[in-house]
Amino acid sequence: MLACGQPARQSRATWQHGGVTAATHSTLFPQAPDSADAVLEGLDPEQRAVATALHGPVCVLAGAGTGKTRAITHRIAYGVRAGILQPSSVLAVTFTNRAAGEMRGRLRQLGAHGVQARTFHSAALRQLQYFWPKAIGGGMPRLIDRKIQLVADAAASLGTRLDRGELRDVTAEIEWSKVTQTIPADYPYAAAKASREAPRDPTEIAHLYAAYEDLKRDRAVIDFEDVLLLTVAILQDRHDVAEQVRSQYQHFVVDEYQDVSPLQQRLLQLWLGDRDNLCVVGDASQTIYSFTGATPDHLLDFRARHPGATVVKLVRDYRSTPQVVHLANGLLAQARGRAADHRLELVSQRAPGPEPVYTEYTDEPAEAEGAARRIRELIDAGVPAAEIAVLFRTNAQSETYEQALADVGVPYQLRGAERFFDRPEVRKAGIALRGAARFGGNDSLLDDAVDLPSQVRAVLSGEGWTTEPPAGSGAVRERWESLAALVGLAHDLAAARPGATLGDLVTELDERANAQHAPTVQGVTLASLHAAKGLEWDVVFLVGIAEGMLPITYARTDEQIEEERRLLYVGVTRARERLHLSWALSRSPGTRPNRRPSHFLDGLRPGTTPTVGHTGTAATGGIERGTTTGTIAAPRRTQRTPARCRVCGRTLTDAGEMKLMRCEDCPSDMDEGLYERLREWRAVQAERSGQPDFCVFTDRTLMAIAEARPETPAELSRIPGVLSRKLRSYGTDVLAICAGREAGEGDEGD
């Protein structure tokens, strides 16, 4: 039986997959309720309290998955159907076109026609266009879609040259300044006060900001922030215009109120005037956009500004299982700061499900392969690909997962990010590497580069690559991460093929780019944690949950660290049924394991205790081992041991020993005859594919196979070096040889 307030699970799944049958048509497109009381049917007690609180200020504190949109749309519909609210007098505002569209659709289904549901910008633009002739006179300036070209022109006017990444970052600083109502001259002070990592000298950014504003005036154009600023200015300066707006809209609803910027709050105050018919909905624990100027202070201060406000808390979670909710609550229990003081303790309304799974891997490629393999198994077991998501902290992480999913034949779609090989810096780097591969002998940069990784670093240094990452976040950091991924690929290729050249790397890049042209519909979602806000899936893989990635390296202040924690909380609460959390001990295969799991998981994953200064309940999810991992170390350790010798138990750190799972000088139980047969088979495969022997399998991998003598594909896949592509290409032959049979014809390679 469905819990009160929970929509039908089948109808939601059918809707998401685009299928509408006669049986579900009435559920997906229901008849409007025939009375005001009918609007309230199916709401839980707290949602009903929201829906019937129609007078004065109302603050709804709504946790993830608690049906907040359902509550506020039923509130509006109930007021309209009861004759308390006039549809044309209601303005509901939110932050994305998708959310506004969803709200309009629900209101229509509930029979509340004529209610305006818009984004802040859309509502302000409509008013600005209408009142411009009366308040300003003449035609309204043209609204530009993108600022970057104007910022570039402003920089050129000052003799400043900005690359593409710097343009994006400076543009972001200008946007932040405008939504926080910071004028150019005040930018250095405001940025320092907000602990922002400015992409260039703050004084220089202030000059660029001023030049940008001058250029806009000269060209008679405005940007999206100007829409809000100009609407605010008109409402402040023209009392008659403000009264006309206030006579039109008597009642306001604001969704995602924790994301309101100071400029949006000022506009809302001007819409309201001296009235208090305002309903706000939000969750301080989901504040993850402070870098854009969003602040939860307006939500947290609401009761102080409106002492008589009705406050309703929604904590019944209809989205996630008790196991997922338990982990989400545990994360917030360890949080600190003002938002943490107002956290909501969620209570799952769903039947129990599987415990969250924690998995440790030796390196990032192994982590991606492990996630892809599990996803393949889930899809084969009947889970729709569209009900699975892989969520990561930075867009630069996507390439590894794009490749891993392509390797196992799983379609995927990227949300909120360009494909890795479509990114401008990656395309430009590819051109530079291709040119160096052809004409490297004439390039002085390559004279001292003796191996492939050194050559790649030399080439990419001309594209802005540095050995140390840039300070701060933003486009410059993302660009560095993309180039770092190419350097990492060069290391991997050199480790697998010691004689690899720049030409080999270019070929590898081309093959990877081609392999990633997978269908983008009905696929597994790849998204950053920021892009995943507001979405949900049956199965969620949270990857890269390691110190330095989550929290991200450049999060230094307590406020920044706590926002990183909230970001992980948002990721956890995207999962309905299954949740996988994983991390890697090193970036690349064979490198020193110098990472540890995120301290956000301390006290939550089994075998750990809360970080000093925090409290929390222990989760009971199981820890699984990824490829050649060791036991989970104590939470205070900074270095982790990836494996122990299966003969003597000594800790293994050498990459070759880790592949064999034993010390070099420990006795081997290798089947010498099997090893020789595998070598002979490898030589044939290498000749067929035109590759060196080690590109099929290295000697150590063959030794590991001859020692393990696997009998099934699963046993073979657990041997380090037997990646999914090689298992697919060579697995049948290898297992036949291990069983004492002749190898079949086999495949010729990947």
Q: Is 711 left (phi over 0), alpha (psi -120 to 50) or beta?
A: alpha
pLDDT tens track for 502-536:
888 888 777 666 544 322 346 789 999 998 988 89
**Mean pLDDT throughout 463-482?**
67
Question: Is residue 215 a contact partner of residue 207, using CB atoms and an 8 Å limit?
Answer: no
Please give the model's pTM, rounded to 2 decimal places. Answer: 0.65
pLDDT tens per residue across span 308-365: 899 999 999 999 999 999 999 999 988 887 777 888 899 999 999 999 999 999 989 8
Give the pLDDT band of residue 424 (cuts 50, 70, 90). confident
Decide which of 22 and 555 is more confident: 555
Q: Kindly tell me if the per-residue pLDDT of 733 is higher than 70.
A: yes
**What's the angle, vertex CA 304, arms to CA 302 and CA 306, rounded to 5?**
65
Average pLDDT of the residues in 280-307: 87
pLDDT, position 501 = 85
pLDDT tens, residue by residue, 148-166: 889 999 999 999 888 777 8
Name residues whose C-beta falls within 8 Å of residue 630's C-beta, 6 or more positions apart in sequence.
640, 641, 642, 643, 644, 651
Q: Is the pLDDT of residue 291 over 80?
A: no
Does residue 387 surpass a pLDDT of 50? Answer: yes
CA-to-CA distance for 574 and 529, rounded, in angstroms? 10
Report whether pLDDT(431) > 80.
yes
Q: How many residues does the chain have?
A: 750
Share of the chain above pLDDT 90, in %: 35
3-class DSSP assignment, residue 414: strand
- pLDDT tens per residue, range 676-699: 888 888 888 877 877 667 678 877
Model confidence at 430: pLDDT above 50: yes
Lowest mean pLDDT among 29-33, 116-120, 211-215: 29-33
pLDDT tier at 240, thresholds 50, 70, 90:
very high
Residue 212 has pLDDT above 70, yes or no: yes
Amino acid 2: pLDDT:
35
The larger pLDDT score, comparing residue 5 to residue 405, is at: 405
**Cβ-contact 550, 600 below 8 angstroms:** yes
- pLDDT given at position 326: 94
Residue 40 — pLDDT band, cuts 50, 70, 90? confident
- Residue pLDDT, tens place only, 57-92: 999 999 999 999 999 999 999 998 888 989 999 999
DSSP secondary structure, 512-543, as one string: HHHHT----SS-EEEEETTTTTT--EEEEEE-
Residue 714, pLDDT score: 83
Tell me how far CA of residue 207 lies from CA of 99, 191, 236, 473, 476, in angstroms: 36, 14, 28, 21, 20
Contact 525, 512 (CB under 8 A): no
Higher pLDDT among residues 21 and 256, named by residue? 256
- Check whether 172 has a pLDDT greater than 60: yes
Coil, strand or helix at 576: strand
Q: What is the pLDDT of residue 628?
A: 36
Confidence class for position 478, pLDDT limits 50, 70, 90: low
> What's the pLDDT score for residue 15?
28
Mean pLDDT on 229-256: 93
pLDDT at 3: 39
> Which pLDDT score is estimated for 614?
40
